[in-house]
Amino acid sequence: MGEWVRALRGVGKSTLATVVVVAVLAVLLMWQPGSSGDAQTGTAPLTGRSRDLTSEGLGLSVEQAVAEMVTLLPKASIPAIYEPTFVSALEGDGFLAADDLVIGVVIDGEAHAYGTAFLGRHEIVNDVVGGRAVAVTWCPLCFTALVYAREFPGREAPLRFGVSGKLIRNALVMYDRETDTLWSQFLGVAVAGELLGASLESLPSQLMEWAAWKVLHPETVVLEQEERVFDRYTPYYEGVVVGVFGERHGDGRLGPKEFVLGLQLPGFQRAYAFRDLSEFPVVNDHLGDTALVVVFDADLGTGVAFNREVDGRLLTFDRVVERSDGRLMLRDRETRTLWAGMTGVALGGELEGERLEQLTFTQMFWFAWTDYYEQGPLWEPPGSVQ
């Protein structure tokens, strides 16, 4: 299991650091500048067509989402990054330890990495990867890394996103500098302002240790930091505090801060618990009309999800037990092609050179998933009691 996951196995311990985090969050919660209405949200009134999210299993409308929005900090008091600079992996070793966690993005063969400890102080990076304008977002309270395209229909220039200082159900709320619209990070939906009801395009990313990311993507560049940064959220990760507001929907199927890999497809959602994936590291599954495979590497403490269809052919995958270089490998039953488990690249066999389509997913705390998906589907291992 990856070191960052091992470190969180102690979740639930009561420590002095946890008490400090509780106190800090309490102060933030009491500090809510402004009053109700527009002054509170800092945006134009709700206008335009509402998007009914209940059909997507979320159990709330846009109006409900904005009604639950709470201001903790002034807008942009957590400074997003608008002009990121990057260095080579070798230079990155000067400020990232092997087990530091990074968000990794690959577009058109170009790989970028972003240290989460550093992102905890910024939460959003406006970047360009493989020619695409992207927003790399990180919500430490929920442990969610989500990446969105910044291009928007009808606008010549990409949107630029900042941190609004607000939360909806413990999750980050972003704003764009062009229209001052508020966006839910978890949903990728505009909840207030000029672009109300619009959706952002989700882009695949991965969350893993720096050393593992470098092995998979040796040509990666990494967001520059002047020095190694202590992750100020570590006491929160290890403690008993659950978000700012606690659990909205207590769900005893898992502990509040257990990790899940959450998949969101149009109209369908499912979570896969790390504890189950550790035992069943390759899961061939269907979600709606999508045939998918979830792959989990317990040594790295991270997972990924791919579409199982290649050129119209449905594949079924098994783990390759013997790994000469320590990497998790797959073999499909239909063609016997060998695949790299974390990248989805076919390394040998009939389909050599093909690449599985990575699906958009997020790894996150269980409580954060159930905040939005009350009693949502949780994958059950074979033979488990319902």
Q: Render pLDDT for 247-261 as a digit per residue (tens, 0 to 9).
A: 888 899 999 999 999
Q: Which of the listed residues 178, 208, 238 is the one where a domain comes to its end?
A: 208
Residue 106 domain-assigned (yes or no):
yes
- For β-strands 182-184 and 101-107, DSSP reports them as unpaired
Among candidate residues 243, 290, 173, the one with its CA nearest the CA of residue 22 = 243
Res 46 pLDDT > 80: no
Residue 161 domain-assigned (yes or no):
yes
Are 164 and 306 in a shared domain?
A: no
Residue 214 domain-assigned (yes or no):
no
**Which range, of 20-29, 52-61, 349-358, averages the lowest pLDDT?**
20-29
Are 74 and 15 in a shared domain?
A: yes
Residue 50 domain-assigned (yes or no):
no
Residues of the domain holding 314: 259-372
Q: Please state the pTM of the whole predicted model.
A: 0.86
Are 200 and 322 in a shared domain?
A: no
CA 358 vs CA 63, 146, 296: distances in Å: 32, 14, 14
Is-contact 347 324, C-beta < 8 A? Answer: no
Are 308 and 199 in a shared domain?
A: no
Res 219 pLDDT > 80: yes
Residue 78 domain-assigned (yes or no):
yes
Are 180 and 277 in a shared domain?
A: no
* Segment 290-336, tens digit of pLDDT: 999 999 999 888 999 999 999 999 999 999 975 556 689 999 999 99
Residue 222 domain-assigned (yes or no):
no
pLDDT at position 2 is 55
Token code pair at residue 16: 């002095």
Are 169 and 22 in a shared domain?
A: yes
Percent of the chain with pLDDT over 70: 82
Res 266 pLDDT > 50: yes
Read off the DSSP letter of residue 199.
B
CA 77 vs CA 21, 25, 163, 217: distances in Å: 19, 15, 8, 34
pLDDT at position 267 is 84
Residue 219 domain-assigned (yes or no):
no
Please, which pLDDT band fits residue 50 given cuts at 50, 70 and 90? very low
Res 39 pLDDT > 70: no
pLDDT at position 82 is 98
Task: Work out the number of other CB atoms within 10 angstroms of the CB of residue 118.
Answer: 24
92 alpha-carbon distance from chain centroid: 22
Residue 242 domain-assigned (yes or no):
no
Q: Considering the chain, what is the average pLDDT of its residues?
A: 86
Res 279 pLDDT > 50: yes
Are 25 and 153 in a shared domain?
A: yes
pLDDT at position 213 is 95
Round to whole Å and give the CA distance between 40 and 66.
11
Are 284 and 197 in a shared domain?
A: no
Are 161 and 268 in a shared domain?
A: no
Stretch 64-74: mean pLDDT, rounded? 90
How many separate domains does the chain show? 2
- CATH code for the domain of 334: 2.102.10
294 forms beta bridges with 283, 305
Are 182 and 315 in a shared domain?
A: no
Are 76 and 161 in a shared domain?
A: yes
* Segment 326-363, tens digit of pLDDT: 689 999 999 999 999 999 999 999 999 999 999 999 99
pLDDT at position 289 is 94
Res 189 pLDDT > 50: yes
Round to whole Å and give the CA distance between 204 and 361.
7
Res 21 pLDDT > 70: no
Please, which pLDDT band fits residue 33 given cuts at 50, 70 and 90? very low
Amino acid residing at 279: E
Are 142 and 274 in a shared domain?
A: no
Helices (H) and strands (E) in the chain, counts: 10, 26
Q: Which of the listed residues 144, 174, 208 is the one where a domain comes to its end?
A: 208
Q: Which of the listed residues 208, 236, 251 is the one where a domain comes to its end?
A: 208
Round to whole Å and give the CA distance between 44 and 64.
17
Is-contact 200 160, C-beta < 8 A? Answer: no
pLDDT at position 317 is 98
pLDDT at position 226 is 86
